[in-house]
Amino acid sequence: MRNKTVGRRFTMLFGTVFLLSGTGLITLVYLLSGSDMTRAAPGQPPPGGPATGIERHVLDLERQLAEVHAQQSRQLLFGSLIAIAVLAAGSFLLGRILAGHVLRPLRLITTATRRISAENLHQRLAVAGPDDEVKELADTVDGLLARLEASFAAQRRFVANASHELRTPLATIRASLDVAVAKPRPAAQTVALADRLRTELDRVDHLLEGFLVLARAQHGVLPDRIPVSLAELAAQALSARAAAIAEKNLSVDDGLTSKAWTLGSPALLSRLVQNVIDNAIVHNHEGGWIRITTGNDDAGDGDAGNDAAGDGDASGGDAPGRGAAGARLVVETGGRVLDQDQVDRLTQPFERLGTDRTGSQEHSGLGLSIVAAIVAAHGGSLDLRVRPEGGLKVTAAMAPADSPDGRHGGTP
């Protein structure tokens, strides 16, 4: 629990001011009420002789009045002490209430700011009220968010535009290589060089395509949202990669027991599933295994909560979490024991495990970062969790949707 130092300071300040003011007022009233105590003590005979009967009667009355006044003074002192004690408690309680009222706009600003991330920079605090210091602070934060949004948008446009522009010279280079090799009796060195260059050009094309998909997903604009089955996308991806799976002698446990319908972009969701399965194939060992499952979890499903929300949540979106309904895709692989801290960084571009972080010839390092961006664009969550016995478990969870026939979820 964090120490609310500002609220505590305001409480102490307000409470102390009220307490000192009240104590000063009570003390002043007490002093004024006892100001006539400085007169001569009653009950003394007047100088010049013994007191007569009338004088003795007057002296008795004065003595009785002095006793009543002393009793009233004691009662006033006791009442003043009680009033100060009550005032002390009331002052700090009132100070706490006032401190909460003063800091309430700041708490609202803090809560609203925490909900804003790179995926929803278009949101603003838009604090209404008088033109005071609090509104000036909120307007300053809104201005900062506007500048950040413009900066992020410019960066993503640059990535997309650069990727598009670079494809033209790459196509020209590829065409030049084809022309050189197509000549009668080309030199062996030319053919070998052309093959190596084509391989590198394919890698660059794949990298540029990854940049384009990443930029599109990070924009979060999905105009083509329709019901999409994660199970069908997974089946298609497995079928298209049958040769790669057979080449590494991998065993696949196909647990596509539910259609797992969700609402989103078919192209982006297809790329999400492909990247996760590609990651499971590329980073698997010879003769390894892959387990793929899909599901539509109902509210309160414990497995859904464990799969969809965990300590390694990488997306930060408003995802189906523990105890919530959601469509999920789970891909597990065996292998060596991994470090969770390194795995958590795999959703960042060009992050790779161990010595493969940079310069890999097999993959671009954008696969899981693209997956994280697509999941976030669909308001889902991505959980990368190491398996204690070795390998990795990837869970992508998104909001469920009704199938095109109107049924929720369903089995194949």
DSSP 178-198: HHHHHSSS--HHHHHHHHHHH
Residue 137 has pLDDT above 80, yes or no: yes
Give the pLDDT mean for 259-278: 88
For 338-387, how does the pLDDT look when each residue is reduced to its tens digit (9 = 90+)?
888 888 888 877 777 654 443 444 556 677 888 888 888 888 899 999 99
Of how many residues is the chain composed? 412
Rg (CA), the chain: 39
If you average pLDDT over every residue of the chain, what do you get? Answer: 76
Report pLDDT for 285: 86
Contact partners, residue 292, CB within 8 Å, separation at least 6: 234, 238, 252, 253, 254, 255, 256, 277, 329, 330, 331, 332
Report pLDDT for 315: 44
> Which residue has better confidence, 385 or 409?
385
For 219-235, how does the pLDDT look when each residue is reduced to its tens digit (9 = 90+)?
655 667 789 999 999 99
Report pLDDT for 245: 92
Report pLDDT for 246: 92
Contact partners, residue 347, CB within 8 Å, separation at least 6: 314, 315, 368, 369, 371, 372, 382, 384
> Which residue has better confidence, 211 or 112?
112
For 161-220, how does the pLDDT look when each residue is reduced to its tens digit (9 = 90+)?
777 777 778 888 888 888 888 888 888 888 888 888 888 787 777 777 767 776 766 665
Residue 44 has pLDDT above 80, yes or no: no
Report pLDDT for 122: 75
> Which residue has better confidence, 383 or 87?
383
User: Which sign, positive or negative, has the C-alpha torsion 35, 41, 43, 46?
Assistant: negative
> Contact 312/385 with Cβ under 8 angstroms?
yes
